[in-house]
Each structure stands twice: as C-alpha cells, then as structure tokens.
Amino acid sequence: MVQKLGRLKESPSQTAGPYVHIGTNPNWVDIAGVYETDLGHALVGPDTKGERIVLKGRVIDGSGTPLKDALIEIWQADAAGLYNSPQEKRGRADPDFTGWGRIPLDAVTGEYRFETVKPGRVPYRDGRLMAPHVTFWIVSRGINTGLHTRMYFGDEEKANAECPVLARIEHKIRVPTLIAPRTTENGIVTYGFDIRLQGENETVFFDI
C-alpha cells in the first residue's frame, strides 16, 4: 500500500515590516548596549588599501516616492578583487576591509551612504573578468523577498563592456539602471545610485 505523505501546505504570505531595526541596527534606533557599533556600519579602517569612495542614493517606489524604512546590505571585493570570505581561494583579502556593510535608510532624507573602497575585478564562473561592482540587497515593508541588484561604476566603460553579467541582460536599454556616475563631493569621490523598485527606469534585479 502506498503510504500517504503528510505534506505541509504553504502558509499565506505577508509583507515584511514595518522593518524592525532592533535586532539588526539597535544603535540606529537609540538602543545602546547591544553592540558598540551596529554590525556592518563600517567597511573600512585607517589601513584599508584602495581608493576611498562613497556610495549614496535612495530607494524609490513605483509612485516615485523615496522610501524611508528600508534596510540595505552591500557585499563587494577589496581593491585587489578578493573577497573577505573563507571561500576565497585566490589569495588573502585585505584584512582591514570587511567587504560587507549594512545600514537603514535615513529616516528624514531617505538616503543611504556607505564609505568604502572601489573594488577590483573578480572572475566570472567561466574565468572571464567581471567589471568592478557592488552587490546590493534591499528589504522593506511590502517586499516579501529581499531584492538583489548590482551597482557598476560609470568610469569603468571598458570593463563594463566586457562584463559577462551585464552582457546577459537581454534588454540593453535597462543596463544604465545599474551604472552609477562618478562625481566628487567635498573632495571625496562619490557614486550616486538610486534603486527604483517599479515604474519608469526600474532597476534590474537579479534572481540569485
């Protein structure tokens, strides 16, 4: 006799939030004593190698309104293209660079801001070099599953043209949604990268 399988039914989905920052960024919401500084707050130290840069921008919904309750994480390689990870087998990453950051959007302006270094190129799974990039993960109320995207650098035209990941984007007209222009603010190299969740110029998101 065939045994009946007690399969579990999928429970109804719910939106995430309002996002609870207590467990991830307690200092951000004035809860002291949990961490000296919130995890992911600082990527660089005084001895970190590479060109210092700032990444900044907003997360914009389908109506064109900037969100103020989202949380963003970033991952990236160091200036030599090595990851601060036990899985990194190509060499030793910069010990003074975390390679990971996490920050909530500013409750007043809706902006995020990361101080980091410009990453080096990393090989794709077939060995071809990808263009320098930073991976973004976004969560907020109304987003059931965290969204993944990438930010590429506007002053890396040659590397961007050679990147095997950018080459896989079918609709080339959408590639610019991943490119951040280089500017200078108060003498600091800055890349502005707005993430648009829906609507005109919606950012390309990756299914990973």
Tell me the whole-structure pTM to 2 decimals.
0.87
> What is the mean pLDDT of the segment spanning 74-83?
97
Answer for the pair 180, 193: CB distance below 8 angstroms, yes or no. yes
Q: Which residues contact 114 (CB under 8 A, 6 or more apart)?
A: 43, 54, 55, 56, 74, 101, 103
Which pLDDT band holds residue 25 (cuts at 50, 70, 90)?
A: confident
pLDDT at residue 14, rounded to an integer: 59
Label residue 25 exposed, middle or buried (CB < 10 Å: 0-12, 13-18, 19+): buried
Looking at the domain covering 44-196, what would its CATH class be? mainly beta
Q: Where along the chain do its domains lie?
A: 44-196
pLDDT at residue 56, rounded to an integer: 97
What 3-state class would DSSP assign to 43? coil
Percent of the chain with pLDDT over 90: 69
pLDDT at 4 over 80: no
Answer for the pair 117, 48: CB distance below 8 angstroms, yes or no. yes
pLDDT tens digits for 101-114? 999 998 889 999 99
Give the Cα separation of 39 and 27 in Å (integer): 10
pLDDT at 178 over 90: yes
pLDDT tens digits for 106-153? 888 999 999 999 999 999 999 999 999 999 999 887 777 889 999 999
pLDDT at residue 155, rounded to an integer: 97
What is the sign, positive or negative, of the torsion defined by CA atoms of 57, 99, 40, 150?
A: positive
